[in-house]
Amino acid sequence: MRRWIKWTVIVVSAGMTLMLAFGAFIAYSFLTAKVDTVGKVDFDRELAVPPLEEGTVDEQGRRVFDLTMQRGETDLGRDEPTPTWGINGSYLGPTLRAERGEEVLVNVTNDVGEPSTLHWHGMHLPAEMDGGPHQMFDDGETWSPTWRVDQPAATLWYHPHPHGETAKHVYRGLAGMFILDDEEEAALPLPREYGVDDVPVILQDKEFDGSELDTTHGFFESNGILGDTMLVNGTPGPYLDVTTERIRLRLLNASNARVYNLHFSDDREYDVIATDGGLLPEPVRRDHLLLSPGERAEVVVSFEPGETVVLRSDEQDAGSRFTGASDRLDILQLRAADRLERSPEVPDHLADPPDLDRDDVEKTREFELQGTVINGKDMDMERIDETVELDATELWRVRNTDGQPHNFHVHDVQFAIVSVDGSPPPAELAGRKDTVFLPEQSEVELLVRFTDYADPDSPYMYHCHLLRHEDAGMMGQFVVVEPGDEAGEVSGDHAGHHSGHHD
């Protein structure tokens, strides 16, 4: 009897000690997981601006771009150069630029040593040209999609989309900006001198292990890596010399998991003029702006001669520790010259709002985000989840019923957000969007309409753009068909989608 009691006491107290230790570990991880670099960044490197690539025009009048995805080494501010991947360089890729109405042809050569894809995020184009998981091409091969640019001026981007490997390929450096121009935008008095008063700002947070990029996931990184080092256009600790009274920043969140809450060190207000799919109806004055992975925003910021201000990411009410909501990060220092060139005022009217009307809705679909599945299902390359009729206006109701944040991105289309948690969207979410942030326990309603390209056999994707979730299967497939048609068969096997090299 005595012995029995003694052993019980030993077992129980050992169990309690373990539980306490585990609790302490959780508490410790929670505290140390918080990142705060405010005031700690030196800003001693000039911001790199990705080279502008306008391509060449071939005899058929197509704008042709040549891209090579490759491996290399990059000075990311560590002791040794960091092994990275890049496009036409060692890290990130050039900024592509084309005009509405133009045919483009992109020759993409894979030289990274493993199969990948290149996806045109935000672009309206045929599913076969989309560069999603069905358009894999092997090392040594060239994939040459072609399409006609037909959508409003916008800041889009490109990145790989190999199923299950997207996080890794993007994190190593495969991404770039794709700027579209049109006549309406060109007629507005907005800053537009690339690299001078119209500057790409590609936001990425990195975690290093020595000089190498750390790709392991910490305890609070179930959504993906949250780094403590910010890179802008691949530059650590960057500053930008401002020479004009106003500058336009094209902000792109090309991070795997982090949500930014963008504001300036002196809390100044700025004009948000565009979001994912182009110009807003009118400029929206803000001093904070949330940007989740995949989202873009264009802002115009005013400067006084000689002043210095820092672009930061602030703590966030929405979102959680898993997307960096408790972190504060210094991002980019802006140094205004003592004499600034005149810039025109931001116009009051920018563009017409999306022409999508709730009264036209013919079909409603529900998408529930939970864990790493959508509507309870894991991504299956051979399953078409939704069949959409060409030109129909649809309402997509997306609910995050989870205890953690997600976001929702739809290929091929720019949608209109008509409600956020039952209320009209804030003004900065009233334009054309292709990616929307969904904090825990939230709901958005989107109006979508797919035009131009019906193809029952080639799916487009919708997915969470937290790349670790996407890779884990938080993705679905839809096809666009002529009214009355049915979805075809898709195979998970990529053979037949290859082009270029044959052995």
Report the residue number, 37 or 407, with the smaller CB distance to Cu ion: 407
379 is a site residue for Cu ion (CB under 5 A): no
Two structure tokens written together for 160: 């790989």
> Which residues have CB under 8 Å from 399's CB, separation 6+?
366, 367, 368, 369, 438, 442, 443
> Which of Cu ion, ligand C2O, none is residue 469 near (CB under 5 to 8 Å by kind)?
Cu ion
Q: At closest approach, how far in Å is the CB of 181 from ligand C2O?
A: 21
C-beta separation of 256 from 225 below 8 A: yes
Two structure tokens written together for 217: 């996931």
# binding residues, Cu ion (CB under 5 A): 4
> Which of ligand C2O, Cu ion, none is residue 163 near (CB under 5 to 8 Å by kind)?
none
Report the residue number, 117 or 313, with the smaller CB distance to ligand C2O: 117
> Which of 54, 185, 169, 49 lies closest to 118, judged by CA?
169
> Residues in the chain, how many?
503
Q: Which of 466, 475, 481, 490 binds Cu ion (CB under 5 A)?
A: 466
> Which of ligand C2O, Cu ion, none is residue 119 near (CB under 5 to 8 Å by kind)?
ligand C2O
C-beta separation of 248 from 293 below 8 A: no
33 Rama sector, left if φ>0, alpha if ψ -120 to 50, beta otherwise: alpha
463 is a site residue for Cu ion (CB under 5 A): no
Q: At closest approach, how far in Å is the CB of 189 from Cu ion?
A: 39
> Which residues have CB under 8 Å from 485's CB, separation 6+?
389, 454, 456
> Which of Cu ion, ligand C2O, none is residue 121 near (CB under 5 to 8 Å by kind)?
ligand C2O
Distance, in Å, from the CA atom of 455 to the CA atom of 444, rounded to the nearest integer, reads: 28
Residue nearest to ligand C2O (CB): 121
Report the residue number, 190 or 297, with the smaller CB distance to ligand C2O: 297
Two structure tokens written together for 493: 């096997």
> Which of ligand C2O, Cu ion, none is residue 250 near (CB under 5 to 8 Å by kind)?
none
> Which of ligand C2O, Cu ion, none is residue 321 near (CB under 5 to 8 Å by kind)?
none
| 3-state SS, residue 32 | helix
161 is a site residue for Cu ion (CB under 5 A): no
Q: Where are the alpha helices (DSSP H) in 172-230?
A: 183-186
Q: At closest approach, how far in Å is the CB of 163 from Cu ion?
A: 16
Residue found under tokens 């993007």 = 170
Report the residue number, 194 or 437, with the smaller CB distance to Cu ion: 437
Report the residue number, 290 or 334, with the smaller CB distance to Cu ion: 290
Q: At closest approach, how far in Å is the CB of 406 from Cu ion?
A: 3
| 3-state SS, residue 337 | strand
Two structure tokens written together for 317: 């009410």
Q: At closest approach, how far in Å is the CB of 170 from ligand C2O?
A: 8
321 is a site residue for Cu ion (CB under 5 A): no
258 is a site residue for Cu ion (CB under 5 A): no
Q: Which of 464, 467, 479, 480 binds Cu ion (CB under 5 A)?
A: 464
The DSSP string of 243-264 is EESEEEEEEEE--SSPPEEEEE
Q: Which residues of this protein are in contact with ligand C2O, per CB under 6 A? A: 119, 121, 159, 161, 294, 409, 411, 461, 463, 465
Q: Torsion over CA of 396, 402, 405 and 410, rounded to 10 degrees?
A: -20
Site for Cu ion in 380-419 (CB under 5 A): 406
Report the residue number, 67 or 461, with the smaller CB distance to ligand C2O: 461
> Which residues have CB under 8 Å from 221's CB, separation 6+?
257, 322, 468
Distance, in Å, from the CA atom of 180 to the CA atom of 275, rounded to the nearest integer, reads: 13
63 is a site residue for Cu ion (CB under 5 A): no
Binding site for Cu ion (CB under 5 A): 406, 464, 466, 469
